[in-house]
Structure 1
Amino acid sequence: MNKSPKLSNTASLPQSTGQRSEMVACEPFAPLSVFMETAEYRRFVQVCEATRRYRYISVCVGSPGVGKTKAAHRYAQWDLFGPLLSAQGMVVPPSFASDCPLPRTALYTPRPTATPKSIEQDLVLLQWGMQMIADAARSRSEEMQPRSAALCPGAVDLLVVDEVERCSHISLEVLRDLFDRYPVGLSC
C-alpha cells in the first residue's frame, strides 16, 4: 500500500502527451532537526560531564545510525556555536543573547583524509576560535552587566572528537598529546 503525504493543494498541468500530471503541495511537517532526549542521551551527557570535570578520556561507541553525532552536536550546542567558526579560521561576531551559556565544549570531526599535522592545525584553530567566541560573548556580557557580575569562564574544557575511527594511530597520538599538555577532557 502506497502512503502519500496529505495533500493541501493540487493543480493539473497540461501535457503534450495527453496525460495529466499533478503538482502537489504538501502541508508543512516537523523539521528534521527535532531532537528527543532519550535515556541513552542522558547517559551520554553524564559521561561528558564526568569527562569534563575530571579531565578523563572517554570513548562512546555504538552502531552506525544510533545518534552519536546528533548527541555530540546537541551536547556541544554546535548548532549555535559551530556556524560562528568559518572555514578560514575566522570567527563571526556572536549574535546570541547575553544570557546564553558560553562555549565549554568543542566538537571536532576529522576529515577522512586528515593527517596528524592537519589534525593538530585544525585543533589549534578550533581552540582559538572557541576562545574568541567566549571572549566576544564575555565582553558583550561585561558591557551589559555590572563588573561584579561579569562571567569569567576558562577556555574550552571538553573536546569531543566525532568519527575518531577515521584517525590513524599517529593521529590518535596527536589527540593524546593534546590531552597530556592541556587541561581538557577528551571524548571520542
Structure 2
Amino acid sequence: MRERFIVTKEHRRFTEFADSVRRGRTIGLCYGPAGVGKTVSARRYAHWEQAHELLTDWGPRGDDDAKIYAALAKNRTALYTPGVLTTPRLLREDLDRIITRTSICIQQHVEVPGRIPLDRWGTRRTTNYVQLVIVDESERLSPTALELLRDRYDRDQIALILIGMPGLQKQFTHYPQFYSRVGFAHQYRPLSTDELLFVLQRHWRSLGKTLNPDDFTDAQTIAAISRITRGNFRLLERLFPQIERVLKINELQTITNDVVEAAASTLVIGTT
C-alpha cells in the first residue's frame, strides 16, 4: 500500500520554487542534506509516482492511463535521475526519450479528439508540452553533460532544475556559461520543530495513538526523536517502522523514550 504523502512547509516552498522556475523558463538549483525530502518533493511535483511505470514500460495504452495523462498535464514536468556512469551521449538519449514520452502523454490529455493539429503536409504536428525538466542527483553530471543541458536549455527553452547536496550552488560557479543562466537557488532544509511535531502527530495517529506534547512522557519521546533524527525526513520514516516493531514485540501500548532508543539502535544512523 502506498504511504500517504505528508505536505510539509519545505515541500510547499519547493513547489513555489519549481513553479517560479517553470513559469520563468529559467534554471534553478535546489540543494540540501541527504534525506530531507528533496527527491520526494520532486517526484510529487512531477507526479512521478503515478507516471514512472507507464513512461518506463512504454507500450499499449489502457483506459486507466487517462488519469496519468491528466496528472502529467498539471505541471508539465519530466523527472530524470542520471546513473553513476551516465555519459553525455546517454544523457542526451535518456532526456530525449523521457521528454518525448511525457509530452505524448500530456498531448493525449490537452488535445481535443477530432481536432488533431496538422502541419502543412497534413501530418500530425509534434508539439513539446514539457515545460520543466528536474534532474536529481546532479552531482553525477560531468562538465560535458552540463554543457549539453545548457545547450538544450538555450535551444528549446525548457526550464531546468538541478537537485543536489549542499555546495551545489558553489560547484556551478566554476561553469560561468551555465551559472549565468541560473535564475533561482533554493535551500531545502530539515524539518523545523513545529513541522516535526506535525509529522509525529500523523505517525501517532497511524498507530492508533494520540500525541500530547504537554504530557511528560510524550515530551521526552519527542525530544528523543528530534535528537536522533535532527529533522531528517528520511530517517524519521525509517525510524517509525522500527518503533512499531518494538511495541509489538514487547506488547507495549505507549511510545516512550526507551522505545525510541531501542528502535534507533537497529538503524544505521550517519551524519544528517
How far off its partner does 1:98 sit? 8.9
Q: Which residue of 1 aligns with 2:139?
A: 165
Q: Does structure 1 residue 48 correspond to structure 2 residue 18?
A: yes
Matched, 1:187 2:161: yes
Letter in 1 for 2:104: M
Q: Which runs of 5+ in 1 are unaligned?
A: 1-30, 148-152
2-structure distance, mates of 1:109, 1:41:
19
Residue 91 of structure 1 contacts residue 133 of structure 1 at CA under 8 Å; is this kept in 2? no
| Cα shift at 1:163 | 0.5
Q: Tell whether the 8 Å contact from 2:72 to 2:102 is kept in structure 1 after alignment.
A: no
Summarize deviations over 1:77-115 as a string: whole Å, max 9, x none: 00122221125xx35526233993443000000011100
Worse-matched range after superposition: 129-138 or 55-64: 129-138
Counterpart contact for 1:85–1:92, Cα < 8 Å: no
- Structure 2, unpaired ranges of 5+: 116-126, 163-272
1:82 paired residue among 28, 33, 52: 52
CA distance, structure 1, for counterparts of residue 141 and residue 36 of structure 2: 21
User: Which residue of structure 2 aligns with residue 5 of structure 1?
Assistant: none
Residue identity matched to 1:43: R
Between the aligned partners of 1:38 and 1:172, the Cα distance in structure 2 is 31
Identical pairs, percent: 36
Rounded to whole Å, the distance in 1 between the matches of 2:35 and 2:3 is: 15
Give the distance between the partners of 1:34 and 1:110, measured in 2 at CA. Answer: 27
Determine if contact 2:77/2:131 at 8 Å carries over to the other structure: yes
> Against the structure 1 CA distance between its residues 98 and 174, is the aligned structure 2 distance closer, same or farther, given a 3 Å change threshold?
closer
The CA deviation at 1:184 is 1.0
Query: Structure 2 matches for 1:8-87, cutoff 5 A?
Result: 33-86=3-56
Whether the aligned pair in 1 keeps the contact of 2:51 and 2:72 (CA below 8 Å) is: no
Q: 1:156 aligns with which of 117, 124, 130?
A: 130
1:96 is aligned to: 66
> Measured at CA, do residues 69 and 135 of structure 1 come closer, stay the same or move farther in structure 2, by a change above 3 Å?
same
Distance 1:179 1:51, change over 3 A: same
* Pair 1:102–1:117, CA change in 2 (3 A): same
Give the drift of 1:45: 0.6
- Please state whether the residue corresponding to 2:70 is helix, strand or coil: coil
If each structure's strand is expressed as a fraction of its own residues, which one has the higher value?
Answer: 1
Report what 1:127 is aligned to: 99
- Say if 1:117 and 1:37 are closer, same or farther in 2 by CA, change over 3 A: same
Matches within 5 A, 1:136-147: 136-138=108-110, 142-143=112-113
Distance 2:107 2:5 in 1: 29
Distance 1:98 1:71 in 2: 18
Instruction: Report the Cα distance in structure 2 between the residues aligned to 1:182 and 1:33, rounded to whole angstroms.
Output: 36
> TM-score under structure 2 normalisation?
0.49
Aligned length, in residue pairs: 147
Structure 2: how far apart are the matches of 1:132 and 1:99?
Answer: 9
Which amino acid in 2 is paired with 1:162?
A: D
